[in-house]
Structure 1
């Protein structure tokens, strides 16, 4: 019976899927399976032939294999590896090279024979590439094929660098990279313009011939493409769907990467559910959205024909369910994000008391505050709350070099105009000349000089001050934390340290807020937003053990300029009038270095202020479509219980 139930739950899934609670657990299980292959081959005195992948996804697997080598005696003497791909052109000692990646994360820490390592050659002359690729295929075939191939997946659905349009029988070859793939790699290369346009990759057909294939994916960022790969139709538009044709494939996912699969996202379509309030709210909103109906117009027939008959039977009549969910959504709407004084707050998202609250808005980058919750920020100030803003990082990696020179030229001209000390002016000119020389020869992702990093930080600091002042804050309520984990000068940051947590605890103790607002963008497990959130959470958790005020401190999450919370998760929706939308826009405009074309725009070409306004209007429209009042725009928040 359990087997039948599982088959029913997974009937939309067209290949084998295993879901683990987190990527650490999943990575250890994949590493164990690789180790089992190696040991089995050792017992029969054979070579284990492995196909390996690069990128963030397999790092945990490689860490575990290194641990097993050092602590459990796992030997790699009998292992021969073939890597999936390499950028072209690419020098093997470049920081972005997959040769560098593999040695840093695996090969330099185990006892594999160097002659048994095979990685596509990014230094080949263009005329030699085709012959080299054919020889790569022959080497794999001569060894009897790959015993095990591990894969990640790109947001285009590529496996290896087999981009949309790749043929299912393709072999190792030179390919042109999709624009989205290059955008995703831009941070590693110091900008998309520096990402190679081509790569050498094993083909889909090469991958298919492996006796076992494991595709791994972690985080919500990968959830949409994972759903397409597992539940979608086989299509060259999503090369990973070709894996549905193999009986030797397994997708290994963490819960976040699996979250869009039908059995997790809309479980009522595949099984009976335990209908708690969250699931009921999600299902009713989903049904209204699917049918393009207001919540109060949903019928019993709508429920029965869309997998929700069980809910209708257990908790109906459906009109009562509709009224309940409608009221819950309505109660999230408030024009008083700090709580409405002298009012019944039993159906409101925030407490009425104290009437004037101390609030801290934590902003991971110097513009997240106004981009993500600028309307609410301004309203909190307008309504008389004691609002502080804390900029957690300097954001100094996201400023154009041209801006640095422009500000230095201004400083030199200003010194000259006020007849400042000539030695000081000459010193500035010397620093400026050194900056120009450095910038003229700067390599992609090369760390800026300390002086350039300082100026970039000053630019973002002055913009943040301007934005916060526009929102109504006095200077003593504007805090620049410059958390040490960020100040590497590189796009890759250090791990969080004790000093990051201590600085945050010190500020919290100074303000003793009743409200904390923090960025809640967790899709990227390595992004600055989630790192900054974890620091705040650790600080509050520690303080809660010793300080009574923390027990009355509510933590609200906001989202950035890309994605909003799902409607069923929203616990506070702050409507914005047309005039407030304009005020928010003006606050964002204070961040001139991020306007027009920011250094790291992501995969969305719109300016930040446009993204923010479109997102806020979309949130308001979702409420309107469900039958709620029609507002110009809305900012949304979710309360985090710690």
Structure 2
């Protein structure tokens, strides 16, 4: 293959990728999985560090760098043994001497402001732990953003100047109206001066020589959001909604991130050194649109990363999913390998939508004029009809009722099953012949804010004081009674929903929370319960937003989410015993979620399959980690369980249903089942989400795509998928259809069905990716 990269690492990965021609405005290198993205980035960093032992580096924070950090530490520790040598040799660095990183000068990219640098969710803390200590860099050579060390008026601490953490940047442009505002105004200008000096120090070093950064959903690099000036420098600034939504997980909810400012280096800071190596890395199909815009557009404020076109050594490192919408990738998809009907479907559906032409209006000349439909073998007047017919068959399959099945639905988090396939599960539950289970594989405690729990605990105190938690009076409640009648909690809560009794619902939640507290803290009597609740409130009120809770509080928060999940499916009469809470051990609320382990994470799933013997299993199909990395890691655990189960049982009749949700979507050509969604199903989604997911109804951790509840975004996705298919089939296909379910269709769900052999083959690919990962 042609040598197009000066870097041995980039050339090696490029040759292994088989990508071929690269036509983007910034070169990119593609790999097939998330861990390998980290490996490539690590090797390129070490290659550069060897060539620039006194160079200036700027490295990212967040979850995307997980494998970059792990591989760098692993390679440094195993440089000269067989493990390290094998990896280095495979990617062109077999003869390289282990680099000494102590001479590198580090520049912190960005930080929330203000934030206590000791908090685990501050970027300063991340940098100190993973880069200064983890890589053995010298702190004295580093430029860091420490909120405590940025001077403010009269040497005050930031909490004395900004006690609620809110900073009004309009004070830059208007007169102060009070003594407090005068103090804040002077402090803001002092922060601005500090930023100017920070920028000056970077430029005195010659600029950044090696920059590595992720890319946000709006295209931001560092905190340079969409619309940032390409000549921007280090500054204190606001963020936009997309960035706030992503940061909500770090800061304990969008209620916090919406009001928190940031200090960030600018786009001109990143590109000041024209010879610098600047790398943006991205994983998963969720990033595909922004990657395409960033790589194929001329310099544009809409795409901040287009500023990297100034540097000849700028690169994008991408997984296959993140690269899938690039023109190069689309061309390669259609022009290489055998032509399939899937390609025919995809090209024709896309042509309908991009030309805004209904399928029955497409002419043969239209097909011949399009660069992809013209490639369809034996192109003729019936080609479009063949696609219409195959999509109708997928729709018919999605309407076929399931009967006499044992169905085991799985979700990485609470609400994933609902947001993925609820209209499908609704119909399955209409047949009493089906045995249906819902299984959530992680605890989900990170989605419950401290504020929500504090408010509920205070309500518990009131209910207890007024004798409204009557079960506390049962003689054996604290010994055994608390373990009984969990279905009763659910039933009484839903009775209150039916009765529109808000107080009754809150009392029902408090009943379950009291059970969770007794179970978790081993409470022995009512007096001890009162003390325990007070201690929990004290612990949460003394915690900072986004701080890691104690294991006991994590468990309690997870049990709140579990109650919510039971409420959702109890709408359809599913008993608590059919709702399974696996709480896989890799999920601990750490910065980096652990890799699943066989005994801890895969065997519990396998035991469930052995016990219930499902004929259908559903799962979130996210092999690249497009959404939260929990999706990818849960998929690994399920894949391993099915693979092992297949070795001991006949799974020839097992169906595996892959679904996707708000984080990323199927193309209808890649799905083989299309499920109609009625207005009734949308109402059920809205009502059950709002009533059951009490901790989520305020959307503390929203998707960057929508400022609101997840169910509303899900509805938007399903409606848009209907519009996509309507362009092929025509709207009249739906409203004039003989089938009432089709006539009632106002949204669509896409799913992909596999048999056990197909799924195990995919599982083995996943397993191979994991085996190459030594962690």
Q: TM-score when scaled to structure 2? A: 0.73
Going from structure 1 to structure 2, the CA distance change for 1:489 and 1:322 (only over 3 Å counts) comes to closer
Query: Is the aligned partner of 1:501 residue 2:602?
Result: yes
SS of 1:485 mapped into structure 2: coil
Q: Which residue of 1 aligns with 2:413?
A: 365
Contact 2:719 2:748 in 1 (8 A): yes
Identify if the C-alpha distance between structure 1 residues 481 and 625 changes in structure 2 by more than 3 Å, giving closer, same or farther. same
Q: What residue number does 1:392 align with?
A: 441
Residue of structure 1 equivalent to 2:395: 333
Aligned to 2:712: 610
1:414 corresponds, among 463, 468, 483, to 468
Of residues 632-641 and 510-519 in structure 1, the stretch that sits farther from structure 2 once superposed is 632-641
- Select 1:481's aligned residue among 563, 582, 588: 582
Moved more, 284-293 or 101-110: 101-110
The Cα shift of 1:589 comes to: 4.4
Relative to structure 1, the CA distance from residue 335 to residue 323 in structure 2 (aligned partners, 3 Å threshold; closer, same or farther) is closer
Give the superposition deviation at 1:570: 1.9
Residues 124-133 or 81-90, more deviating? 124-133
Greater alpha carbon shift after TM alignment, 421-430 vs 496-505: 421-430
Taking the TM superposition and a 5 Å limit, the aligned residue runs for 1:400-479 are 400-401=452-453, 402-407=455-460, 409-410=462-463, 413-415=467-469, 419-420=473-474, 424-448=525-549, 452-479=553-580
The CA deviation at 1:167 is 2.3
Would you say 1:257 and 2:358 are equivalent positions? Answer: no
What secondary structure is seen at the aligned counterpart in 2 of 1:445?
A: coil
CA contact (8 A) 2:124 2:146 kept: no
Q: Is the 8 A contact 2:625 2:631 kept in 1?
A: no
Whether contact under 8 Å (1:397, 1:490) holds in the other structure is: no
Is the partner of 1:443 in helix, strand or coil? coil
Kindly indicate whether residue 692 of structure 2 is the aligned counterpart of residue 591 of structure 1.
yes
| Corresponding residue for residue 70 of structure 2 | 63
- Paired residue total: 617
Partner of 1:109: 134
The answer on whether the counterparts of 1:89 and 1:198 sit within 8 Å (CA) in structure 2 is yes
CA spacing shift, 1:539–1:97, aligned 2, 3 Å: same
Deviates further, 499-508 or 420-429: 420-429
CA displacement, residues 109-153 of structure 1 (integer Å, 9 cap, x when unaligned):
344333112223433024443443343344334444433222322
Gaps of 5+ in 2: 5-17, 80-97, 152-186, 478-523, 735-744, 760-775
More off after superposition, 239-248 vs 522-531? 522-531
* Whole-angstrom CA distance in 2 between matches of 1:7 and 1:458: 47
Residues 235-244 or 109-118, more deviating: 109-118
Q: Report the equivalent of 2:299.
A: 234
CA shift, 1:333, in A, is 1.2
Residues 86-110 of structure 1: per-residue CA shift (max 9 Å, x gap): 2222333221222321232232134
Q: Shift in Å at residue 9 of structure 1?
A: 5.4
Q: Counterparts of 1:554 and 1:614 in 2: how far apart (Å)?
A: 28
The corresponding residue for 1:345 is none
1:146 equivalent to 2:247? Answer no
Tell me by how many angstroms 1:635 deviates.
2.6
> Quick one: distance in 1 between partners of 2:666 and 2:271?
38
1:503 and 1:156, CA in 2 relative to 1: closer, same or farther beyond 3 A? same
Q: Could you say which residue in structure 1 is the equivalent of 2:48?
A: 37
1:139-288 counterparts in 2 under 5 A? Answer: 139-195=201-257, 197-210=260-273, 211-212=275-276, 213-265=278-330, 274-288=338-352
Q: Does 1:638 align with 2:702?
A: no
1:323 and 2:374 correspond: no
Comparing 532-541 with 562-571, greater Cα deviation is found at 562-571
Distance 1:92 1:457, change over 3 A: closer
Contact 1:50–1:81 (8 Å) recurs in 2: yes
Is the Cα–Cα contact under 8 Å of residues 544 and 551 in structure 1 kept in the other structure? no
- In the other structure, the counterpart of 1:343 is none
Q: Render the CA deviation track for 1:554-592: whole Å, top value 9, x for unaligned.
A: 110122345542221221112244444444544434414
Looking at structure 2, the residues matched to 606 and 193 of structure 1 have their Cα atoms a distance apart, in angstroms, of 12
Give a deviation string over 1:187-212, Cα, whole Å, max 9, x none.
11111233373222222222112212
**Contact 2:28–2:318 at 8 Å: present in 1 too?**
yes
Report Cα offsets for 1:44-93 as digits up to 9, x if no partner: xxx22323333333343333332333232321233222232222223332
Structure 1 counterpart of 2:7 = none
In structure 1, runs of 5+ residues without a counterpart are 341-354
Deviation at 1:307, TM superposition (A): 0.8
Conserved 8 A contact 1:85-1:160: yes
- Is 1:100 paired with 2:125? yes
Instruction: Find the aligned partners of 1:115 and 1:146 in 2 and give their Cα distance.
Output: 17
Cα distance, 1:583–1:188 mapped onto 2, change above 3 Å: closer
8 A Cα contact 1:363 1:518, kept in partner? yes
Give 3-state SS (helix, strand or coil) of 1:382's partner: coil
Task: Measure, in 2, the Cα distance between the counterparts of 1:61 and 1:227.
Answer: 23
What CA RMSD, in Å, does the superposition of the two structures yield over aligned residues? 3.2
TM normalised by structure 1 equals: 0.87
Contact 1:59 / 1:105 at 8 angstroms: preserved in 2? no
The 1:141/1:594 distance shift into structure 2, 3 A limit, reads closer
> 1:367·1:591 contact (CA, 8 Å) conserved in 2?
no
- Residue aligned with 2:445, SS: coil
Partners of 1:281 and 1:568 within 8 A in 2: yes
Deviation at 1:259, TM superposition (A): 1.4
Query: Structure 2 CA distance, aligned partners of 1:52 and 1:457?
Result: 33
Mapped to 2, the partners of 1:77 and 1:418 lie a distance apart of 61
Secondary structure of 1:567's partner? coil
> For the structure 1 residues 106 and 358, does the alpha-carbon distance in structure 2 shift closer, same or farther, using more than 3 Å as the test?
same
User: Is 1:554 the counterpart of 2:658 in the alignment?
Assistant: no
1:296 aligns with 2:340: no
